[in-house]
Amino acid sequence: MEDKVVLIVGGSGGIGQASADLFAKAGAKVVLAARDKSKIEAKAKEINDNGGEAFVIEVDVTDLGSVSSMAREVDENLGKIDVLVNAFGTGLIQPLLDIKPDDAKEVFDVNIYGTFLVTQTVARFMATEKEGRVIMFPGILGKAVMKNTSVYSASKYAVTGFTKALVEEFRRGDVKFSLLYLGGVATDFWENPKVEMRVQKDKMLTPEEVAKAVYYAASQPGQSVLNEIVLQPESHQMV
């Protein structure tokens, strides 16, 4: 990964930051992008202080102008984007009849429309260069449903369908896509008051364990591609 440019959108989250550490240690130029720049500056400083290269960009994934500016800034200042890690998203786990329509709209806006905007925008650059890798996180709820996950699962199934269609669309264009179906991961996702589920974070996957899968998918040699992987803690095994 030496001198590769890795754009991590959702860099303020546990998975994004753990992935940034691995890519930076491997010599990549890491760009952390998030809505709140202050949440990623500390991680970028830590990486830079340890001899790596990390940069921060503020982005609103639901705003085309913001997403376009992000991609253009990376391309102009660092060079072509080799890897896109779509590590952002928002959660909602509640009974259908309790869900506020505005909350459902936010989930669809971020998880579906945001994924579309970021992927389309960066894919334009990758298609021009005729290479690139995109890592998607539909999560296990983009493969199998659970009680009270109607809206969230719908958004994640959309990511799965979107990505599988892109695999066919870019099959001869040398842009490769990987789907990571992750079980419970011990991140601040579970601190969201809209995620009404009791969990035991000590029995979940750690962000560092997930980051290894992200790095593995992104660093496949030559024409090989990691299409899909299911990674779950033993206590959550279901599919």
Angle at 217 between CA 211 and CA 219, to 5 degrees: 100
Residue carrying the six token digits 């809206």: 151
Q: What is the CATH number of domain 5-236?
A: 3.40.50.720
pLDDT digits (tens, 9 = 90+) for 2-25: 899 999 999 888 999 999 999 999
Statement: residue 141 has pLDDT above 60? yes
Q: How confident is the model at residue 235 (pLDDT cuts 50, 70, 90)?
A: low
Residue carrying the six token digits 């033993």: 234
Average pLDDT estimate for 183-211: 83
Q: Which of 121, 95, 89 is nearest to 108 (CA)?
A: 89
Number of H helices, E strands in the chain: 7, 7
Q: How confident is the model at residue 191 (pLDDT cuts 50, 70, 90)?
A: confident
pLDDT (0 to 100) of residue 236: 58
How far lies 124's CA from each of 3, 114, 209, in Å? 21, 16, 31
Statement: residue 203 has pLDDT above 70? yes
Question: Hey, what are 140's tokens?
Answer: 């296990």
pLDDT digits (tens, 9 = 90+) for 24-56: 999 999 999 999 998 899 999 999 999 999 999
The strand order across the sheet containing 5-9 reads 53-58, 29-34, 5-9, 83-86, 132-136, 175-182, 228-231
- What single letter denotes the amino acid at residue 197? M
Which spans in the chain are helix H? 14-25, 38-49, 64-78, 101-107, 115-129, 150-169, 207-218
Predicted structure pTM score: 0.93
Query: In this predicted structure, which of 13-22, 140-149, 191-200, 218-227 has the lowest mean pLDDT?
Result: 191-200
